[in-house]
């Protein structure tokens, strides 16, 4: 907003129920939608933690029949989406309940899009390519990071091309998100750290995005403050419900911000890394973010100064771009180290041409469009070289 002028922006969000005990309302909302046979989409890890079973028990106690689909990988595959859609249609399901982190929720979105529109999940790649809304979708997030329960985004792995595709559409916004901080206490330290850094990256990229707005700015800055003050505590004291609640609220706010302002070069690069190398999405973001800050800061120093103030709790506005970049990079690196994430990806050295392949994928990702600085292929390769081992 400059001189009182606000550019035209849209803002979309699902209905949100936030607080301890929120997930206990699954059966109530299934009844609200008149569902007679929901499809529960989850994965084996979430099932082992007991959260999917709780949802099943609620539905059973309410006399609601359901079908399970738990064959979801950490980076959900196109084939898994298609198998889930086939099951949804064969069992005549009429609602989807996603329980888990970003992978089950993204897979659930894909299942819904295919079930309603037909075709193949890869047909919907890109922006606004989902013509008909999916069946009712209720999400129970069990991580504080991905915000797939709130966003217009679904990220699916195209196995043939070994790349992640982004499906971005208002038709991908869930109907209801039941945000219950208690569900996050079963995350181990590594998952807590990686998903928390994913949420922080959402906030950073949404605030720096060239599609940001006053509505998204408020959410992005408050998300940064909450995550900066709570992530290390949540990692170090996993049963601390106060820290877990602040992290889930930070993730929620970051999700509202990026869903409506989009993202940037970090996510474009992380999608390529996750697709080609099958790496955890949050880890990719955590390692790339500080390097992307240094790259982007000259194009938007005042934006990164505001983010730095929210992250560090000290004044930065008015400082030069180099000083801002150094301060923010230092704060991000200190947080990353404190929560136990390393400096680089631990892999066998990659051939040099892999960086070019990754850079081409990143430049084709829709998230790069809203980055505050337009990168060239060589610049993206240099950013990758900072975090990936190269032969």
Chain CA centroid to CA 243, Å = 20
- 3-state secondary structure string, 155-175? EEEECCCCEEEEEECHHHCCC
The 10 Å Cβ neighbour count of residue 196 is 29
Task: Indicate where the chain has its CATH 3.40.50.1970 domain(s).
Answer: 15-184
What is residue 8's predicted lDDT score, i.e. its pLDDT?
A: 80
Chain CA centroid to CA 164, Å = 13
Give the global pTM: 0.96
Chain CA centroid to CA 328, Å = 22
What is residue 3's predicted lDDT score, i.e. its pLDDT?
A: 54
Per the CB < 8 A criterion, the answer to whether 165 and 155 are in contact is yes
Of the candidates 234, 219, 237, 340, which has an alpha carbon nearest to the alpha carbon of residue 287? Answer: 340
The 10 Å Cβ neighbour count of residue 325 is 22
- 320 CB-near residues (< 8 Å, 6+ apart): 301
Spatial separation of the C-alpha atoms in residues 145 and 199, rounded to whole Å: 4
Structure tokens given for 234:
């949540």
Per the CB < 8 A criterion, the answer to whether 105 and 139 are in contact is yes
H or E segment and range at residue 380? helix 377-385
Task: Indicate where the chain has its CATH 1.20.1090.10 domain(s).
Answer: 189-385
Helix then strand count (H, E) for the chain reads: 14, 9
- 3-state secondary structure string, 195-220? HHHHHHHHHHHHHHCCCCCHHHHHHH
The 10 Å Cβ neighbour count of residue 83 is 16
The 10 Å Cβ neighbour count of residue 278 is 12
3-state secondary structure of 137: strand
Domain spanning 189-385: which CATH class is it, in words?
A: mainly alpha
pLDDT tens series, the chain, 391 aa: 455 566 788 899 999 999 999 999 999 999 999 999 999 999 999 999 999 999 999 999 999 999 999 999 999 999 999 999 999 999 999 999 999 999 999 999 999 999 999 999 999 999 999 999 999 999 999 999 999 999 999 999 999 999 999 999 999 999 999 999 999 999 999 999 999 999 999 999 999 999 999 999 999 999 999 999 999 999 999 999 999 999 999 999 999 999 999 999 999 999 999 999 999 999 999 999 999 999 999 999 999 999 999 999 999 988 999 999 999 999 999 999 999 999 999 999 999 999 999 999 999 999 999 999 999 999 999 999 999 999 8
CATH number of 15-184: 3.40.50.1970
């Amino acid at each position: 907003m400059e001189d009182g002028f606000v550019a035209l922006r849209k803002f979309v969000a699902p209905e949100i129920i936030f607080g301890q005990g929120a997930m206990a309302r699954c059966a109530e909302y299934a009844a609200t939608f008149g569902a007679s046979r929901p499809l529960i989409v989850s994965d084996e890890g979430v099932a082992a933690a007991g959260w999917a079973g709780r949802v099943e028990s609620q539905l059973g106690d309410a006399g609601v029949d359901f079908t399970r689909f738990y064959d979801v990988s950490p980076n959900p595959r196109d084939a898994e989406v298609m198998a889930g859609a086939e099951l949804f249609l064969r069992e005549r399901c009429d609602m989807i309940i996603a329980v888990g982190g970003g992978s089950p929720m993204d897979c659930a979105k894909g299942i819904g899009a295919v079930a309603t529109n037909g075709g193949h999940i890869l047909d919907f790649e890109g922006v606004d390519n989902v013509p008909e809304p999916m069946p009712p979708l209720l999400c129970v997030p069990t991580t504080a990071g991905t915000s797939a329960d709130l966003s217009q985004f679904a990220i699916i792995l195209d196995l043939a091309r070994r790349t992640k595709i982004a499906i971005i559409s208002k038709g991908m916004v869930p109907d209801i998100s039941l945000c219950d901080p208690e569900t996050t206490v079963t995350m181990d330290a590594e998952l807590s750290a990686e998903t928390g850094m994913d949420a922080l990256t959402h906030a950073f990229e949404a605030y720096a995005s060239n599609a940001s707005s006053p509505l998204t700015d408020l959410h992005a800055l408050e998300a940064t403050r909450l995550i900066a003050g709570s992530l290390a505590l949540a990692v170090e004291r996993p049963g601390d419900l106060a820290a877990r609640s602040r992290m889930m609220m930070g993730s929620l706010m970051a999700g509202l911000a990026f869903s409506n302002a989009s993202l940037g070069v970090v996510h474009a690069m992380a999608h390529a890394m996750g697709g080609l190398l099958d790496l955890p999405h949050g880890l990719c973001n955590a390692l790339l973010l500080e390097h992307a800050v240094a790259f982007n800061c000259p194009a938007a120093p005042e934006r990164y100064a505001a983010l730095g103030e929210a992250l560090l709790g000290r004044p930065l506005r008015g400082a030069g771009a180099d000083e801002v970049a150094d301060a923010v990079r230092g704060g991000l690196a200190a947080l990353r180290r404190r929560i136990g994430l390393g400096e680089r990806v631990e892999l066998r050295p990659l051939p040099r041409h892999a960086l070019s392949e990754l850079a081409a994928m990143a430049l084709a990702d829709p998230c790069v469009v809203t980055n505050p600085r337009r990168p060239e292929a060589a610049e993206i390769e240099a950013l990758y070289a900072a975090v990936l081992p190269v032969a």
